[in-house]
Structure 1
Amino acid sequence: MKKSIWFIVLACFMMFLAACGNNSEDASASDNSNESSEQESEASDESSQTVSVEHELGTTEVPKNPEKVAVFNYGTLSHLDDLGISVEGVAKGTLPSYLSQYDSEEYTNIGSLKEPDFEAIHEMDPDVIIMAGRQGEAYEDLSDIAPTVYISTDTEKLEESYKNGLQTIGEIFGKETEVEEKINQFEETATSVQDIAQNSDKKGLVVLSSGGKLSAYGKGSRFGIIHDVFGVIPVTEEIEASTHGMEISFEYISKQNPDYLFVIDRDQVVGGESAASEVLDNELVNGTNAAQDENIFYLDPEIWYLSSGLPPVGKMAEEIKTAIQE
């Protein structure tokens, strides 16, 4: 009798354990299912998210982490490249050598800096188009194809607008941390250039050479970063801050007598025939402090002239630093 009771108790206990095991498995399966559903929901939410970008030409809703990216301006393209962001469409018209990797069939040619190829862009069907000053007139037409963002810099507030533009890119592509690192790195380099410039009493003049003609650029101008951010003392405060600079002569350079002469040779990147080094090789220029002390610096026009949008200011800072450090 006792044995029978023990058998019954044991059997009930075994049944209880089995039931508990099944409940545990069911609960685990339910938890896994819920977790999977949550992950799928999060992924779905992320893919449907947009970023509202306010820019000079309006406000654009851009998909978060867009996959098919079309870029017109080379300055911005260089930053996307530095951040490891893939692009599909590039304006290859005057692609600078430091971005030569994009001159391949892997990337769709969407036209030039001045003339978008609307047919190619339509066929590409981008998720976002990034443009700058030279494409401003095509903004409405490009916006009809895909969300279009105008990212450029304000020469009067260059450092601030540069940071804002980079932060916009970081927000769109989920690269906020990398962007902040990039900004910090630029600030460190810029500070080191400022230290060199401010510990010197030498004054500089920035000149663009184009077709044998010369234009000077001062503070708040297209190339004013040399004075406004890098701290090089301008040889004069009277240069007009216009888009195309102030037309000058050899006599003007001789009269101002700069200690540093920074030259951007436009002809070098647009196929012109008047090399700046030949244009400036004359008695008036050769008599300046800059020439006498071998401080005439021919800056890379691919970086300084072609790089619209968000200019590669890190490369600019390094070039000025190399030029003025003793």
Structure 2
Amino acid sequence: MKKIKSIALMLVAILSLSILTGCSSNNESADKAETRVVKTSKGDVEIPANPKRIVDISGSSEELVILGYTPVATANVDSYDTENVPSYMADTFKDTKVVGHSMMDTMDIEAIIEANPDLIIMAPRQEKMYDELKEIAPVVMLEDYSNDWEANLKQVATLFDKEDEAQAWLDDYYAEAKKIGDEIKKAKGDQSYVVALASSGQFMIFSEGGMGTILKDDMGLKQPANMPKQDSITLPTVSIEGLSEIDADNIVVIGMESDKQDLAKNSVFNEIRAVKDGNYVFLNASPFFSQAYNPMGRKLLLEEVKNALM
């Protein structure tokens, strides 16, 4: 009888060990499934497969929203109101804390800690914070694509294996942009367009950046033959006389209210052909200056541009 009991106890022990081993193996598989390793400029980094509390200081918060992640903290702020997110994102980011300005090299580290992130996304310009940030949570340093908003969306999508979602969003965006561009051309004919930022009595011309590329590249609208060349990410600058020499059929000026008032009183500006012909549009710098550099802002601008030009 004792022998039978011993055998029975041994079988129970073996069975229990098998169950525990199986559970352990399943837990390990589950743990592995909950993270993924991504390649970054700082080497391979293990990140949550589906992060819940992302702090983004890279300026990619709109890209994250497109992919289904609303950050708990952001540095996507209005360039003319750096304490707040752009007005068009206010509802989306109503519960998102501002921890800095994405174009700066430092952030509010205490606010980042308080956000309790499980993932931090940063840009190369904030590299001096890298070691400090990686003590808080896994950190991904993105590549700097400057003005290439599409490339940035795609690299953020790669982090989460969501390239297909990003491409579908881009396809929808470009289809809508072309449709609106065709509507504008049908209404106004083969006219030319220039977009300029008013700055201290001069104008920075969006030749290859910002809203200028929405009109030229995405909508397919024509730029004037006399556009200044842009050789870097820095926008070329012209005087009021230089703006007149560009001789666009339509002029869109982005600026502050004081710029609008100054231009209304400027005799040289009011003699520019597009202004005299009533083909001049003024848009507020907040939020329109930086809106075109971000994907959700860019998409919202399509209807804004249509309404302004037609």
Give the TM-score, by structure 2 length. 0.72
- CA shift, 1:152, in A, is 5.1
Q: Is 1:283 aligned to residue 267 of structure 2?
A: yes
Q: CA RMSD in A?
A: 3.4
| Letter of the structure 2 residue corresponding to residue 189 of structure 1 | E
Separation in structure 1 between the aligned mates of residue 33 and residue 292 of structure 2, nearest angstrom: 31
Matched-pair contact (CA < 8 Å) for 1:66–1:173 = no
Q: Is 1:204 aligned to residue 187 of structure 2?
A: no
- CA shift, 1:207, in A, is 0.8
Q: Is 1:187 aligned to residue 170 of structure 2?
A: no
Aligned CA distance change for structure 1 residues 190 and 154 (closer, same or farther; 3 Å): farther
Larger Rg: 1
Separation in structure 1 between the aligned mates of residue 67 and residue 35 of structure 2, nearest angstrom: 23
Aligned to 2:282: 298
Aligned CA distance change for structure 1 residues 38 and 169 (closer, same or farther; 3 Å): farther
- CA shift, 1:215, in A, is 1.9
| Letter of the structure 1 residue corresponding to residue 303 of structure 2 | E
| Per-residue deviation, residues 205-234 of structure 1 (Å, max 9, x unmatched) | 22101344322231x244441323332222
Matched-pair contact (CA < 8 Å) for 1:208–1:215 = yes
Matched-pair contact (CA < 8 Å) for 1:53–1:62 = no
Aligned CA distance change for structure 1 residues 236 and 60 (closer, same or farther; 3 Å): farther
| Per-residue deviation, residues 250-297 of structure 1 (Å, max 9, x unmatched) | 2222333321111121x4xxxxxx523223223333233422343222
Separation in structure 2 between the aligned mates of residue 309 and residue 205 of structure 1, nearest angstrom: 17
Q: SS of the counterpart of 1:264?
A: strand
Separation in structure 1 between the aligned mates of residue 27 and residue 178 of structure 2, nearest angstrom: 46
Q: Is 1:213 aligned to residue 196 of structure 2?
A: no
| Letter of the structure 2 residue corresponding to residue 206 of structure 1 | V
Aligned to 1:100: 90
Q: SS of the counterpart of 1:202?
A: coil
Q: SS of the counterpart of 1:44?
A: helix
Matched-pair contact (CA < 8 Å) for 2:37–2:44 = no
Separation in structure 2 between the aligned mates of residue 60 and residue 279 of structure 1, nearest angstrom: 53
Matched-pair contact (CA < 8 Å) for 2:251–2:280 = yes
Matched-pair contact (CA < 8 Å) for 1:193–1:320 = no
% identical equivalent positions: 22
The match for 2:111 among 110, 120, 130 is: 120
Aligned residues: 273
- Following superposition of structure 1 onto structure 2, how do residues 53-132 of structure 1 map, counting pairs within 5 Å? 53=40, 61=45, 63=47, 64-72=49-57, 76-91=60-75, 93-101=83-91, 106-113=95-102, 114=104, 115-132=106-123
Q: SS of the counterpart of 1:275?
A: helix
- CA shift, 1:44, in A, is 1.7
Aligned CA distance change for structure 1 residues 101 and 197 (closer, same or farther; 3 Å): closer
Aligned to 1:27: none
| Letter of the structure 1 residue corresponding to residue 129 of structure 2 | D
Matched-pair contact (CA < 8 Å) for 1:73–1:308 = no
- CA shift, 1:61, in A, is 2.5
Matched-pair contact (CA < 8 Å) for 1:53–1:168 = no
> Gapped runs of 5+ residues in structure 2?
1-17, 78-82
Q: Is 1:236 aligned to residue 220 of structure 2?
A: no
| Per-residue deviation, residues 145-176 of structure 1 (Å, max 9, x unmatched) | 13133365454xx4xx60x3223333333544
| Per-residue deviation, residues 59-109 of structure 1 (Å, max 9, x unmatched) | 5625132222112355x32333344313111236242112224766x4444
Give the TM-score, by structure 1 length. 0.69
Q: SS of the counterpart of 2:290?
A: coil
| Letter of the structure 1 residue corresponding to residue 199 of structure 2 | S
Aligned CA distance change for structure 1 residues 60 and 183 (closer, same or farther; 3 Å): farther
Q: SS of the counterpart of 1:209?
A: strand
Separation in structure 2 between the aligned mates of residue 215 and residue 62 of structure 1, nearest angstrom: 42
Aligned CA distance change for structure 1 residues 251 and 89 (closer, same or farther; 3 Å): same
Aligned CA distance change for structure 1 residues 99 and 143 (closer, same or farther; 3 Å): farther
Aligned CA distance change for structure 1 residues 167 and 251 (closer, same or farther; 3 Å): closer
Aligned CA distance change for structure 1 residues 215 and 251 (closer, same or farther; 3 Å): same
Separation in structure 2 between the aligned mates of residue 183 and residue 189 of structure 1, nearest angstrom: 10
Q: SS of the counterpart of 1:130?
A: strand
- CA shift, 1:139, in A, is 1.9
Matched-pair contact (CA < 8 Å) for 2:292–2:298 = no
Q: SS of the counterpart of 1:262?
A: strand
Separation in structure 2 between the aligned mates of residue 60 and residue 316 of structure 1, nearest angstrom: 37
| Letter of the structure 2 residue corresponding to residue 259 of structure 1 | D
Q: Is 1:140 aligned to residue 132 of structure 2?
A: no
